[in-house]
Structure 1
């Protein structure tokens, strides 16, 4: 039987550290810190709720990160 796949480890990073940053700067910084996927969304965007290990989500208003969360 094949082994159960192990999800990639997430960076030990606090999403709140991105609040107030320019979206492009926040995305670069997140990738430097090891996030494999970075997703920028407008306020109120309709998204699916599946959790993806290694993904960092940003809500961006007027070019600045106003909310950040894992998954």
Structure 2
């Protein structure tokens, strides 16, 4: 029987570190730190809630990250 594959590891990074940064800089920094996907959303956006390993979500208002979470 084949072994169960392990999901890729997420970077050891605090989402809170991105709050207050300009959105473009936050996206660039997330890529440098190893996040495979970044999703920038306007406040109140309707989104899917599935958890994706390696994805970082930004809520962006007026070009600044106001909230950030994994998945």
TM-score (norm: length of structure 2) = 0.95
Deviation at 1:30, TM superposition (A): 0.4
- The root-mean-square deviation of aligned C-alpha atoms, in Å, is 0.8
Aligned to 2:26: 26
Aligned to 1:7: 7
Deviation at 1:5, TM superposition (A): 2.2
Deviation at 1:2, TM superposition (A): 3.3
Distance 1:6 1:42 in 2: 32
Q: Larger deviation: 57-66 or 3-12?
A: 3-12
Residues paired across the two proteins, number: 71
Give 3-state SS (helix, strand or coil) of 2:26's partner: helix
Distance 1:41 1:49 in 2: 13
Structure 2: gaps spanning 5 or more residues: none
Structure 1: gaps spanning 5 or more residues: none
Aligned to 1:47: 47
